[in-house]
Amino acid sequence: MSIDQLADIAQAMVAPGKGIIAIDESTATIKKRFDSVGIECTEENRRAYREMLLTTPKLGDYISGAILYDETLRQSTKAGVPFTKVMMDNGILPGIKVDKGAMPLAGFPGELVTEGLDGLRDRLKEYAKLGAKFAKWRAVITIGEDMPSGTCIEANCHALARYAALCQEAGIVPMVEPEVLMDGEHDIDTCYEITEVTLRSLFGALYEHNVMLEGTILKASMVVSGKDCPDQASVEEVAEMTLRCLKASVPATLPGIVFLSGGQSDEAATAHLNAMNQMGAKPWPLSFSYGRAMQSAALKLWSKDLVGNLAAAQQTVYARAKDNGLAALGKWK
């Protein structure tokens, strides 16, 4: 696939007023979500849940793509229509999570490095044949005492760059996600500093690996106060500092940036995105790639009656998509 084709896909992912829904939870993660609402984590229940999400009427009005898990990419609706066909017919690009999760970084207690590069070239070839148009790889940066180390940041950014280069080789747009975790008592200034250092390291690594930024999307965490910080920053402060950090560290050639919700409440994630988009001209579109902040209300509804509550759960998914689509334009109230 040419760089122009990759660039076209990347631009479609951040089309005005549209964002990405992340439904790429591993089987272990979705089991925790199902356990919390009393649903058995069988393959059929996982399939039915994802069908509920992906067949939401008019979802494509506000959703440009969905990140899927390996199992989901291979699944079909109850009527036998592959999920990838349902998505493409509704203008939603299929994406795939390809990393194998964050593991302890040897020699650096408390820090993590994401694994999954072994065999990735062959997996990406198969995913492209199955219909994936973009992929996602998440790195995890923890803030704590003497953390993160330069080694942790460098190891994760190097892996993100290698993954991105392999994606583009396979004709798949890489979404690079260096998540700076909210966990901890740190203030917003500390989060700003770590986020800027991480992003500068990431784009340096992408450059060294000949990754074409025109065909790449950044999935970024917002600059926020730590979850346990007594002094929580306001919506305006989060928006202003996140934007300043991105302008200081992200090249203007990137087609767009989507944010993860990262443990924020549904409303906070939407309010922060909306405030950023009300702050005048930016070098790139700012949109969303939310998981829990798009699904949690719908999962609670659906879990009470998997068939009877289907329409109500889908209405909730649509409402969350619409709210965030408006926030991506700075028009949410």
Instruction: Compute how many other C-beta atoms are within 10 angstroms of the C-beta atom of residue 159.
Output: 19
Residue with tokens 């560290």: 249
Does residue 125 have an active-site annotation? no
Ramachandran angles phi, psi of 68, nearest 5°: -110, 160
Distance CA 250, CA 239 (A): 16
Encoding tokens for residue 168?
């583009």
Distance CA 169, CA 75 (A): 26
Q: Which residue is catalytic, options 25, 177, 179, 196?
A: 177
Note the pLDDT tens digit of each residue in 84-122.
999 999 999 999 999 999 999 999 999 999 999 999 999
Residue 272 binned pLDDT confidence (cut-offs 50, 70, 90): very high
**pLDDT higher than threshold 90 for residue 319:** yes
Beta bridge partners of 155: none
Taken in order 9, 14, 17, 18, the sign of the CA dihedral is positive
**Strand segments (E) across the chain:** 19-23, 63-68, 93-97, 102-104, 112-114, 134-141, 173-180, 217-220, 257-259, 286-290
Q: Is 141 helix (H, G, I), strand (E, B) or coil?
A: strand
pTM: predicted TM-score of the whole model, two decimal places = 0.95
DSSP for residue 239: H
Residue 119 has a pLDDT of 98
Note the pLDDT tens digit of each residue in 173-231.
999 999 999 999 999 999 999 999 999 999 999 999 999 999 999 999 999 999 999 99
Note the pLDDT tens digit of each residue in 17-26.
999 999 999 9
Q: Which CATH number fits domain 3-327: 3.20.20.70, 3.40.50.2000, 3.40.50.1220, 3.40.190.170?
A: 3.20.20.70
Does residue 177 have an active-site annotation? yes
Exposed / middle / buried, residue 306 (Cβ in 10 Å: 0-12, 13-18, 19+): middle
Residue 266 has a pLDDT of 86
What radius of gyration, in Å, describes the C-alpha atoms of the chain?
19
Note the pLDDT tens digit of each residue in 9-56.
999 999 999 999 999 999 999 999 999 999 999 999 999 999 999 999
Residue 312 has a pLDDT of 93
Q: Which residue is catalytic, options 18, 133, 136, 219?
A: 219
Residue 8 has a pLDDT of 98
Which one, of 175, 25, 21, 23, lies nearest residue 92 by Cα? 21
C-alpha distances in Å from residue 177, one per residue of 28, 81, 183: 20, 31, 17
Distance CA 120, CA 194 (A): 29
What average pLDDT does the structure give for the chain? 96
Distance CA 21, CA 62 (A): 10
Distance CA 295, CA 262 (A): 13
Q: So where are the chain's domains?
A: 3-327
Q: Which residues neighbour 218 within 8 Å (Cβ) at sequence distance 6 or greater?
A: 175, 176, 177, 199, 250, 254, 256, 257, 258
Residue 83 has a pLDDT of 97
